[in-house]
Structure 1
Amino acid sequence: MGSLNDILLPCSSATMSKGRTDCPLRVFFKDARSLFKKDELGLEIAQIALPAALALMADPIASLIDTAFIGQIGPIELAAVGISIAVFNQASRVAIFPLVSVTTSFVAEEDATCNIADDTEFKFTSEMTELIPRKEHTSSFSSGISSNTAKMGTERKHIPSVSTALIIGGILGLLQTILLVLCARPILNFMGVKNDSPMMNPACQYLTLRSLGAPAVLLSLAMQGVFRGFKDTKTPLYATVAGDATNIFLDPIFMFSFDLGVSGAAIAHVISQYLISLILLSRLLRRVDVLPPSINDLQFGRFLKNGLLLLVRVIAVTFCITLSASMAARLGSIPMAAFQICLQVWLTTSLLADGLAVAGQAILASAFARKDYQRAASAASRVLQLGLMLGLFLCAILGGGLQFASKLFTNDADVLHLVHIGIPFVALTQPINALAFVFDGINFGASDFAYSAYSLVLVAIASILFLVLLSPSYGFIGIWLALTIYMSLRMFAGLWRIGTARGPWNFLTS
């Protein structure tokens, strides 16, 4: 185990004296002049990150449009839906985030291994073809090799992680539906919505109906993890856009034409989620053998081992967000409505960085599977640098535009006043959020799941303490101060791991 100097000062003389010639911190500045260069790595990142970011943003944008429609009904309904969405998202992330992250890494690794095997087989058959004499009686044998070679890359692949992910996703979706339908009121009570609160009935209606779409949500997200592992983020984008466009189209019809209010918004969302899952499944069946040859091919043990680590992590991560929503709900319907608007904008814009995180995870998982550490370092530095630039850009856009855009969500003067107070926090945290999300993707790509879990538990404990201390004293502002601290600690956890060259990053000092 290294000394304290090695951990705290990875570029110190102690480090150099051990024969290490490279500084781990240099990975953050590697090829900085080529940040926007359209080289092979830059194009691959763009081809993965842009569709992934758009797909990730599509659902929050649909939620923003839901929020805008519901805001026209009244602040009570807006607050009620806000707390219900927080509950549903917490349950979904706890169930599916570990599965999606693990699936992306495992599929990318297995796909890279399959490609290596295919390349080897192709090279072997090509060499055999050259060795075969060009005589008429050997033509049938040569044509047989050629036909087999032509089939390579066109047949459906058998990747055990795909079947395992779909089975786990379907089971978790059914369990989530049962849990939320049966326990809607107790969960809302826990979130600070009392039985005599005017928010209770619309919140319960929305949460119960939206829970019926949980199986579709978890299955579609599991399949998105599969496509990300294939470095195909366009297919999930097309499916998500089709589903969310349906949601936006159906919202005013169910809410106002059929006079269903918040229930209509939930029904429209459920229909859109089942449409997304059907589109993704039809596309997936063309590329992969979804049904495994035998049950022994499934990888439940591998998924559970790493999935449980990420389950611990995602509970810690999302508990901070859910607790902050609960704190806002305890302040009343006006602060909760303002918090919902700020939170949706905060999360939606931050998800742009998640596109870079997906690209980093897919590329790094393939690079580590091939033991191509030079490419791993280059990809990590490039996505981190792009993440910082993206965060600064979002900071400028939100700081200048959200003052005017907030009126699209509500006309209530009290709600707008609190929204304007929250705008500086939403805008100024964008660079921090972007780097935190990109660090997550990089560590997932390196299969560094244990560190990702344990470090975020410590971050969550510290953040919850700040939230509990600051919220009673400073109210709405205290909640956003605590969330800013939370994201800053998340970013530092990622910086520490790579900057000290620990775990899978020890190659940075070799």
Structure 2
Amino acid sequence: MMTVTAWTLKFEHKTRRHIPSASTALTMGSILGLVQAILLISSAKPLLNFMGVGPDSLMLTHATRYLTLRSLGAPAVLLSLAMQGVLRGLKDTKTPLYATGDATNIILDPVFIFIFHLGVSGAAIAHVISQYLITAILFWRLMAQIDVVPPSIKHLQFGRFLKNGFLLLLRVIAVTFCVTLAASMAAHLGPTPMAAFQVCLQVWLATSLLADGLAVPGQAILASAFARKDYNKAAATASRVLQLGLVLGLILAAALGVGLTFGAKLFTRDASVLSIIVMGIPPINTLAFVFDGVNFGASDFAYSAFSMVAVPVLSVMLLSILSASHGFIGIWIALTMYMSLRAFAGFWRFGTGTGPWNFLWK
């Protein structure tokens, strides 16, 4: 019996793959998560002041408490995102789906908010618990497929990650700054416009997740095709993913155009907030996110980074002008233009056949 058990453990150990980049991603995700948590907790009030929540605002106490508690989940969020990336690289898209903590969050939210009467703090606690649950499930599944702990530090690929990671970090900062600035401008308009903006933003994020359903598998298939230099498959995959993205975008545009008018009451019963929500224009970002997946699959990180720096520069100018002249509606018009520019930047690289797509013109 001991011999069989020992042989089984040895066999299972051999079947697990050693992927240095995966170990590096998990290490960096853990470190960055801790750094992010410390920075957010220590600078909560200055950040909220920048966002338009001043010292005399009624939102400050609740917002500070919520941000501080949510920050405790930052290590779990970044680590789970790193593990999801590894699993997608292994073409395992089922595990991230099954491990989602939405069900846990949905169950815990009313418990902490209404039964325990914790309000916004309860919402933050529910989210943090769900994030650590996701991380535990993903880590358990990942350990069955790869050697999570590298044999030694020298096997980690920090240099390669810092090179590509810096480009992606530059891109994320530029993209996040634009949306953050829009939220700050909405907050400066007052609590009611900010509440309406938050509802529209959640609808926006929901459409983003739907777009990821096309972008992520497209990215994995394209990366595999480029690695094998199978350019016919790469072109066919990119074309089909973009076609599906366009169809999905049109469907979402129609659904949001009708649904937001009647479905806003699912978020709030405040008449003043509802009157502003229906004026919101949540931008359709399907094609923008699909193009991101296409360019990431082609490892075109430099273009993705620098194009997304140029786009927010113009978008910030539009936000400043339109928010000052048209208020809440101006913010969403500017964000719609911002997403359109992102989609155009992605199309330009693919459509002109430059960079990794130069084979399209040969």
**Among 236, 255, 261, which residue is 1:403 paired with?**
261
5+ long unaligned stretches in structure 1: 1-150
Q: Provide the C-alpha distance between the structure 1 equivalents of 2:218 and 2:84, rounded to a whole number of angstroms.
A: 16
Q: Give the corresponding residue for 1:277.
A: 135
Q: Displaced runs of 4+ in structure 1, greater than 2 A?
A: 151-154
Residues 1:268 and 2:126 are matched in the alignment: yes
Q: Provide the C-alpha distance between the structure 1 equivalents of 2:58 and 2:351, rounded to a whole number of angstroms.
A: 50
**Among 445, 460, 463, which residue is 2:297 paired with?**
445
Residues 1:239 and 2:99 are matched in the alignment: yes
1:77-226 map, 5 Å: 155-226=15-86
Q: Structure 2 counterpart of 1:509, which letter?
A: W
State which structure, 1 or 2, has the greater radius of gyration over its C-alpha atoms.
1
Q: Provide the C-alpha distance between the structure 2 equivalents of 1:200 and 1:259, rounded to a whole number of angstroms.
A: 19
1:415-430 map, 5 Å: 415-422=273-280, 425-426=281-282, 429-430=283-284
Q: Provide the C-alpha distance between the structure 2 equivalents of 1:153 and 1:454, rounded to a whole number of angstroms.
A: 42
Q: Provide the C-alpha distance between the structure 1 equivalents of 2:274 and 2:296, rounded to a whole number of angstroms.
A: 39
5+ long unaligned stretches in structure 2: 1-10
TM-score (norm 2): 0.95
Q: Using the TM superposition, give the Cα deviation of residue 294 of structure 1 relative to its aligned residue in structure 2, in angstroms.
A: 2.1
Q: Give the corresponding residue for 1:475.
A: 327
Q: Give the corresponding residue for 1:361.
A: 219
1:273-422 map, 5 Å: 273-422=131-280
What per-residue deviation string (whole Å, max 9, x for no partner) do you get for residues 263-318 of structure 1? Answer: 11111111111111000000000000111122221111111001101111111111
Q: Structure 2 counterpart of 1:331, which letter?
A: L
1:1-20 map, 5 Å: none
Q: Provide the C-alpha distance between the structure 2 equivalents of 1:216 and 1:232, rounded to a whole number of angstroms.
A: 20
What per-residue deviation string (whole Å, max 9, x for no partner) do you get for residues 105-147 of structure 1? Answer: xxxxxxxxxxxxxxxxxxxxxxxxxxxxxxxxxxxxxxxxxxx
Q: Provide the C-alpha distance between the structure 2 equivalents of 1:154 and 1:501, rounded to a whole number of angstroms.
A: 43
Q: Provide the C-alpha distance between the structure 1 equivalents of 2:104 and 2:307, rounded to a whole number of angstroms.
A: 40
TM-score (norm 1): 0.68
Q: Using the TM superposition, give the Cα deviation of residue 153 of structure 1 relative to its aligned residue in structure 2, in angstroms.
A: 12
Q: Structure 1 counterpart of 2:38, which letter?
A: I
Q: Provide the C-alpha distance between the structure 2 equivalents of 1:373 and 1:152, rounded to a whole number of angstroms.
A: 36
Q: Provide the C-alpha distance between the structure 2 equivalents of 1:287 and 1:186, rounded to a whole number of angstroms.
A: 43
Contact 2:207 2:286 in 1 (8 A): no
Q: Using the TM superposition, give the Cα deviation of residue 407 of structure 1 relative to its aligned residue in structure 2, in angstroms.
A: 0.3
Shift in CA distance, 357/154, structure 1 to aligned 2, threshold 3 Å:
farther
Residues 1:466 and 2:318 are matched in the alignment: yes
Q: Secondary structure at the match of 1:194?
A: coil
Q: Provide the C-alpha distance between the structure 1 equivalents of 2:250 and 2:229, rounded to a whole number of angstroms.
A: 33
Q: Provide the C-alpha distance between the structure 1 equivalents of 2:142 and 2:212, rounded to a whole number of angstroms.
A: 23
Q: Provide the C-alpha distance between the structure 2 equivalents of 1:341 and 1:235, rounded to a whole number of angstroms.
A: 29
Q: Structure 1 counterpart of 2:195, which letter?
A: A
Residues 1:504 and 2:356 are matched in the alignment: yes
Q: Using the TM superposition, give the Cα deviation of residue 366 of structure 1 relative to its aligned residue in structure 2, in angstroms.
A: 0.6
Q: Give the corresponding residue for 1:136.
A: none
Shift in CA distance, 501/185, structure 1 to aligned 2, threshold 3 Å:
same
Q: Provide the C-alpha distance between the structure 1 equivalents of 2:56 and 2:222, rounded to a whole number of angstroms.
A: 52
Q: Using the TM superposition, give the Cα deviation of residue 152 of structure 1 relative to its aligned residue in structure 2, in angstroms.
A: 11
Q: Structure 2 counterpart of 1:371, which letter?
A: K
Contact 2:225 2:231 in 1 (8 A): yes
Contact 2:23 2:148 in 1 (8 A): yes
Q: Give the corresponding residue for 2:3.
A: none
What per-residue deviation string (whole Å, max 9, x for no partner) do you get for residues 472-495 of structure 1? Answer: 111001101110110111011011
Q: Using the TM superposition, give the Cα deviation of residue 154 of structure 1 relative to its aligned residue in structure 2, in angstroms.
A: 7.5
Q: Provide the C-alpha distance between the structure 2 equivalents of 1:283 and 1:351, rounded to a whole number of angstroms.
A: 23
Q: Using the TM superposition, give the Cα deviation of residue 350 of structure 1 relative to its aligned residue in structure 2, in angstroms.
A: 2.8
Shift in CA distance, 381/477, structure 1 to aligned 2, threshold 3 Å:
same
Q: Secondary structure at the match of 1:247?
A: helix
Contact 2:171 2:305 in 1 (8 A): yes
What per-residue deviation string (whole Å, max 9, x for no partner) do you get for residues 1-25 of structure 1? Answer: xxxxxxxxxxxxxxxxxxxxxxxxx
Q: Give the corresponding residue for 2:6.
A: none
What per-residue deviation string (whole Å, max 9, x for no partner) do you get for residues 207-256 of structure 1? Answer: 0011111111111111000111111111011111xx22111111112112
Q: Secondary structure at the match of 1:304?
A: helix
Q: Provide the C-alpha distance between the structure 2 equivalents of 1:481 and 1:400, rounded to a whole number of angstroms.
A: 18
